[in-house]
Amino acid sequence: MSTVERIVRSPLHALEFANVLLTTPDAVVGASEREVIWTHRGTTLYRYRSSSREYPLPLLLVFALINRPEIFDLRPGGSLIEYLLEEGFDVFLLDWGSPGEEDADMGLDEYVCDELHWAIRETLRASGSDELTLMGWCIGATLCAMYCGLDRGALDASARPGPEREASRNPVRNLALLTMPVDARGSTYATWIGDPEFDVDAVAEQWRVVPGGAVDFANGMLKPVTNFFTTYLRLWQGIQDGGMRRDAYQPMAKWVADNPDFPGKAWSQWIRMMYRDGTLVAGHARLRGMRVDLGRIDQNLLVVTAGADHIAPRPGTMPVFELVSSEDVTHIDRPGGHIGLVAGSAARKEIWPEMADWLRERSER
């Protein structure tokens, strides 16, 4: 296309550009059929039934507290959940919902000791299995690791107060942690909020729920030129060259822009644990007074890291290998970014098959 032609066509391109941006909220994400198994407060447990279920062990996907879990089921042909169903797994998804001010008192304690604990119980009840695979992404992975790092007896007692009973068996057979931060004190975030003068608790108290937009803005500021400028420039160039795929761009753009608020208590705990004190990695973290010891993790363990991950950089995940007591440990490291692990063509071709192979070998009865 000649320069003159481009100039002549630029009003059309501008219209197309505006149309893509304006219709992005209408893009369909999370289209796979699912049923609600359990709800509590804003939390919902979904089940995706596989028409070719081969493995009895259910797989529970646990999402982060920022963004929405639709990234696991972004679009037909580009959905991790759809892929896992095709591979014969019985998939459950834990969706934390969109917290409001009334959820300001939700801390990591509540997310791990109540919501996750109860969701696991409901997953087992619905599937009829006595074990499961827990797969978490980003903060969701850390929540899963914390869950497995709790003492079972203490957890049972906290969930069901009363006379002392025999501790239940940990039902998590396999633990898959995708881009999990355990010690982020070396990250750019830590530079921003590590300053003791920044009063995390005051901000959490004043905001009650930290606006999702603020969290997203902070994430964007980690790579300001790429996130706030280059993305749109690439879209414009794609429209000019005729190579822009609306079905690929819009679901991702919609997902990126959908940012639920972060409950103030959980946010403040997360900042302290991850970016300031490093209590999780030091073994001093406590949930409801119970010590979280990652050394208690003895499940079959899969850790997936991404070399170009700027949100949960790989060095922040690596300490987990020195902490866990699992005998079966697998590490998949790929050059992509934080989101590239669970969405995108490279994920479908390379990472998902590897994860499915790992699960397959460990999901027989």
Partner 1 sequence: MADRKQSANPSGEEQIRALYEQAESPTAKAFEELVSKPSFGSLLARSAENVAALSRIGTDLADVALRNLRIAGRADITRLARQLQRTEDKLERVLQEVEQLGDELGHRAADGASNGRDPTGRERVKADS
Does 284 interact with partner 1 (rule: CB under 8 A)?
no
In whole angstroms, give the CA distance from residue 8 to residue 6: 5
In whole angstroms, give the CA distance from residue 112 to residue 122: 14
Q: How far is CA 27 from CA 36, 113, 239, in A?
A: 22, 35, 18
Does 314 interact with partner 1 (rule: CB under 8 A)?
no
Nearer to partner 1, 222 or 332 (CB): 222
Does 308 interact with partner 1 (rule: CB under 8 A)?
no
Neighbouring residues of 72: CB distance < 8 A, sequence distance ≥ 6: 61, 63, 79, 80, 81, 93, 137, 342
Does 126 interact with partner 1 (rule: CB under 8 A)?
no
Does 226 interact with partner 1 (rule: CB under 8 A)?
yes
Residue 337 Cβ, how far from partner 1 at the closest point, in Å? 14
- Three-state DSSP at 42 gives coil
In whole angstroms, give the CA distance from residue 188 to residue 236: 30
Q: Which residue type, as a one-letter code, is found at position 331?
A: H
Q: How far is CA 17 from CA 254, 255, 258, in A?
A: 15, 18, 20
Does 51 interact with partner 1 (rule: CB under 8 A)?
no
Q: How far does CA 41 lie from the centroid of its chain?
A: 19
> Looking only at residues 178 through 197 of this chain, which bind partner 1 when binding is defined by CB under 8 A?
188, 191-195, 197
Out of 223, 246, 272, 291, which residue is the one contacting partner 1 (CB under 8 A)? 223
Residue 118 Cβ, how far from partner 1 at the closest point, in Å? 7
Does 333 interact with partner 1 (rule: CB under 8 A)?
no
Does 164 interact with partner 1 (rule: CB under 8 A)?
no
Does 232 interact with partner 1 (rule: CB under 8 A)?
no
Q: How far is CA 347 from CA 24, 186, 335, 344, 355, in A?
A: 23, 27, 11, 5, 10
Does 130 interact with partner 1 (rule: CB under 8 A)?
no
Does 331 interact with partner 1 (rule: CB under 8 A)?
no
Total of chain residues touching partner 1, rule CB under 8 A: 39
In whole angstroms, give the CA distance from residue 256 to residue 271: 22
The site for partner 1 (CB under 8 A) is made up of 2-3, 6, 40-41, 100-103, 105, 118, 121, 125, 159-160, 188, 191-195, 197-199, 202-203, 206-207, 214, 218, 221-226, 230, 233, 237
